[in-house]
Structure 1
Amino acid sequence: MGVAGAPGDDPRPYFFLSYAHIPKSDPKDANPNVWVERFYRDLCEHLMNLTSLPDGASPGFMDRQMKPGEPWPVELSKALAHCRVFVPLYAPRYFLSEQCGREWFAFSRRAAHSRALNSNNSSSASAIVPALWVPVPVKQLPRQAERLQFANEEFGEDYAAEGFYGLIKLRYLRDEYERAVYHLAKRIKEVAEMTQIADGDAEQDYHSVPTGFGPPGGKRRMDISVLACSRSELPTGRSPDCYGAHPREWNPYHPESSRPLADHAADLVRNLDYQVSVGEFEADADRMLPKGPPVTPGMLLLDHWALSTARGAELLGKLTAENRPWISVMVPWNRADPDAALQEDAMRATIQTDLAPRPGDEGGHCSPSGGVPTLQAFSQELPVAVKAAARHYDRHAQTYPPDGGGGSKPQVLPSGVGYGSGIPARETKSNAEKAEGSLRDREP
């Protein structure tokens, strides 16, 4: 897979501009996104001057540059798989857009995968360079957006107060606009040349990519727990290559991956706008398996080799003793592991029997009986597991109304609404219709 390199030797776009389309109030109105397009052209012009890109190369990607008749989901997937920097254009509308959330998560997942391939490359975490189009209150930002620096001092005080839209529209701030665009171009160039992000899957199904934005002001949580061996407690015949001093250090996709799987999973879940707790099931079982309603949705990363020990089998028995569909179970099974064939039949039997829902039970998410064969397959399956756990949690959790709400009787949250939901609570029918309109708006 290709990575960003020295100036002039990488033909990939320097940046992908992610922005929320402004709908027309009337079909006869002029293009309401004309100022974003102007901003994009100015940014590209600066980058052409700052870099040694060859003639004909485009320094950036914006969906409006696609030609009529081109399959826009395919082109977006290609651009997200190959761009070197992701530039989200912050505005209140941006964080309400399903399409912008998809673009953000697609790039973030690619960056997380790149970190897993090379854990020494922490710089890939900074390959998102926000640009402020319209000022957004911090409380409206998703967690992953809040963590990024977007009010850069070198862009000027007027930029922080007005954003690029204010600078470009107010004539007396035109010089400040030129200054801010130039410094953003320099920042994109610097980040592109110092990061090492591997190319992503250019053929991914764009429509299957989840949004990375939760409900505004939401405090969604997800528990990730590991049931795995440690290097000092391995079954007879099991190689120690995938293990560390503690179960949490389990890395089933070694040597392709250089990070513990729990750390990679936590990155992906955070990019879905969750607050994440990561631990070991030995210590987490009592908290994650309470009597009565669930406390939080969860995910169990299961090392089948751990079930060869009496303690591992006992812990799995605690999980399966009751129907708990709000805990998704993922079973990595690296077929490139020389020891995989020794336990594959037993692993399949466990998934098909012990982890299968009993008659009448509400089935939660569990990996297919063949396990999850690769790191990339794990990254693709994880959002499905998160959504399932959140959906079942919402169905089973109890909440109490605020004071004056008619008493303290527990109420069951409706599916897909509220705390922990995989579907933002704001997504009403009218908003769903708006989302559909946004999809049509993406077509050139």
Structure 2
Amino acid sequence: MHDSRSARRVRRKAPYFFLSYAPAPVPGGDSEAEDLEPDKDVEEFHADLLRAVAGLSGSLTLPSLGYLDATDRGGPAMARALQSSHCFVPLITRRYFIDGYCGRQWTAFVNRARRGTLVPVLWTPVPTTARPLSVDLGLPSPDRATTPTHVDPEALSRYAKGGLYGLRQYPGGSDYYDQCVRRIAQCVVEAALGSPEPAPGEAEFADLDVPDAFDTSFWHPLGIAVLAPDIHHLPPGRSDTKYGREPRDWQPFSDGLSIPLAERTAELARNLGFAPEIRTYDEAEDVFLGRRETTSPWILVIDPWILHDRGALDRLRAFDARDLPWVTVLTALADDPQTRRAREELQELLESALPRRLSSGRFIQRGAVAGLDNFEAFNRRFIELADSAAQQYLTRVPLTSSTSHSASADPQGDQEAQP
């Protein structure tokens, strides 16, 4: 039985896997042309994966088992391999998601008439907000009755934090790296043995004239809600210099730009890979109180001056009573003298409105709720916490296992409402 199965494996002609990655461009060159830096570490990983796949599959035709997309970007050999390979193995890095060529490869593979399998491999860390698709970046694991090859818990932890490249660089991590490569190979072989060979005469790609799966139109949605007074509803005695006709016109920080904080936050969000939508608290309250399902993570930006209004105070208490880890709260303390003088009073109002947020969570989360008194501090906290909100949101949307993901339909795969 074993010999027969091995023989069947050896007779397979299509590559088991297509390794897709984004090379580093030569300074001044074109990343989609031929001016590409050879990546020694990627080439070595490709060779290691070939050997592991060969050992598990019983194949003796080592070079034809897997295709490394490197020097023939866009050429006929690439097109043939992408069309026929059983698995698509994207080597995930930050650069990968901004490489239009990789995005078109992804689209072409998942839209093939013949089903294939995605086996993403984390090469270097990528924040959630830099991923335009829902990609499970845990170490792949076979999802059939096969017993997964052993991987030490420490190897899994280091893989999650630093990727496969990090394991290669970790002193004494060669065994961990080898364990992860064998696990990835196991997933590739299992998927390949479960998929059909290309049919004779199957049409090949003429080119990659397909949409980029990582186009900015697929960025993660992010809600930005503003809870602040407008110029017609200010607390008694509050100066109107920081306010406009709507809550979203509020400008707590003075730097001469005359741009509302909500718009500046949205621009910062776009730089992080989000597709932001600005709302007032009134418009977002149904989501925050559970009356409407959320479709994205949220940032709630608060002006504590509004808490002089008893109605606003009670509404924020109701929000605080709910467990909403996918909502990040940042309080902006205006930089005018009146706010500085009222700092203690405003802090008491915040403690009354948001007791749970101010007493639980990480230190930087509590600090963001307690108040940020300049735009630089606000920026830093937003960058640190926005990805956390996105990750918390994603725990509400189970990700499809990377090895069981059928790449036969939607070019965006399991679309994140992320990011």
TM-score grouping bracket, smaller chain normalisation: 0.3 to 0.5
Q: Which has the higher contact order (CA 8 A, sep 6+)?
A: 2
* Rg larger for: 2
Q: Structure 2 length as normaliser, TM-score?
A: 0.46
| TM-score normalised to structure 1 length | 0.44
